[in-house]
Amino acid sequence: MATQAAPASGVRNGAGPEWGGFEENIQGGGSAVIDMENMDDTSGSSFEDMGELHQRLREEEVDADAAAAEEEDGEFLGMKGFKGQLSRQVADQMWQAGKRQASKAFSLYANIDILRPYFDVEPAQVRSRLLESMIPIKMVNFPQKVAGELYGPLMLVFTLVAILLHGMKTSDTIIREGTLMGTAIGTCFGYWLGVSSFIYFLAYLCNAQITMLQMLALLGYGLFGHCIVLFITYNIHLHALFYLFWLLLGGLSTLRMVAVLVSRTVGPTQRLLLCGTLAALHMLFLLYLHFAYHKVVEGILDTLEGPNIPPMQRVPRDIPAVLPAAKLPVAVVNATAKAIAVTLQSH
């Protein structure tokens, strides 16, 4: 790398149009070469130095670009200068490509290392946190502890995705799997990330003491109640049961989050605003997932597909009510006929 850049800078110096600027050029080029050499020394040492190195290289590159821009103003462009420019361009391109590759690999490697502390949990800890997410603690005066951990929330979101898929399949939906899979993932992750950042923003406005990581963990563990409720009610279709679970389990997990937020906020107005928003969003999300979800998707599909009615379709017609006294039975017959037709068409 250094060998490519060094001749380029040398040629640049040699092709400098004005010898008055020679000293500056030499200095600029010289410093660049020295830095490159330093870099070459460190590059062999270890991979951990890459970040620092990367930063230094970027500064250097800015310097070099500035020098190049200065120089291109010169009127003299002889063959030598042209060749120099060409070789420099090629070297620059190669350097850029290599650097991009290295920085990409480095950022991936670094990201995994950065995220690792948030996944540092034991199974017992996860179990107790899952249980605690359903137990609100009435402690308002002292800020309650929130564990900054992402394993549990992430797994809960993936579980919720799987449960949603299951619910969509078993419900009488026109199932367009590709759309549904994407929608399920989008909904769950969108809710988790979107509401967390929104509440974090509100918390910032309301001067609550909570970090983004804590917010993500809090809301993520709050989804445990949702998972249980949806898993049960997608399999047992009873509205009363759903409302009971919605109030009980959903309410408990919401209360737990509200209690934590209350203990970390000062002032009644702020508390009301923050906790009201969070509670409303969390409870309504569960309602939304249970009732409206597949219907919304169905509606979207219908509008996307447009008029897609098969040409030969038997539509049950109403039996004319001849006598006013026979209206009630006729209505019943019509309803049954329609129901039969619907079941037949769906098969």
Instruction: Candidates 23, 73, 75, 120: give the one binding other proteins (CB under 8 A).
Output: 120
Residue 166 near other proteins by CB under 8 A: yes
Pairwise CA distance, residues 102 & 53, whole Å? 11
Number of residues that bind other proteins (CB under 8 A): 27
Taking each helix axis as running N to C, give the angle between helix 212-235 and helix 177-205, from 0 to 180 degrees, rounded to the nearest 10. 140
> Which structure tokens are listed for 148?
């900054």
CB 153 within 8 A of CB 276: no
Which region among 61-69, 174-182, 214-222, 278-286 touches other proteins (by CB under 8 A)?
174-182
Residue 73 near other proteins by CB under 8 A: no
Cα separations in angstroms, 109 against 50, 102, 117: 11, 10, 14
Q: Which long-range contacts (CB under 8 A, 24 or more apart) does 297-300 make?
A: 297/168, 297/173, 297/176, 297/179, 297/180, 297/183, 298/173, 298/174, 300/179
Label residues 44-56 b or e (16+ Cβ within 10 Å = b): eeeeeebeebeee
Give least dist CB 272 to other proteins, A.
38
Instruction: Candidates 33, 175, 202, 337: give the one binding other proteins (CB under 8 A).
Output: 175
> Is the Cβ of residue 73 or residue 172 nearer to other proteins in the bound state?
172
Residue 169 near other proteins by CB under 8 A: yes
Of residues 104, 117, 114, the one with CA closest to residue 50: 104
Residue 104 near other proteins by CB under 8 A: no
* CB count in 10 Å sphere of residue 177: 10
Give least dist CB 171 to other proteins, A.
12
Residue 158 near other proteins by CB under 8 A: yes
Give least dist CB 126 to other proteins, A.
7
> Is the Cβ of residue 68 or residue 301 nearer to other proteins in the bound state?
301
Which region among 133-141, 156-164, 204-212, 277-285 touches other proteins (by CB under 8 A)?
156-164
Pairwise CA distance, residues 230 & 243, whole Å? 11
Residue 178 near other proteins by CB under 8 A: yes
Cα 14 to chain centroid distance, Å, stands at 52
Residue 342 near other proteins by CB under 8 A: no
Residue 123 near other proteins by CB under 8 A: yes
> Is the Cβ of residue 121 or residue 212 nearer to other proteins in the bound state?
121
* The residue type at 196: S
Residue 62 near other proteins by CB under 8 A: no
- Residues near other proteins (CB under 8 A): 112, 115-116, 118-123, 126, 151, 154-155, 158-159, 162, 165-166, 169, 174-178, 181, 301, 308
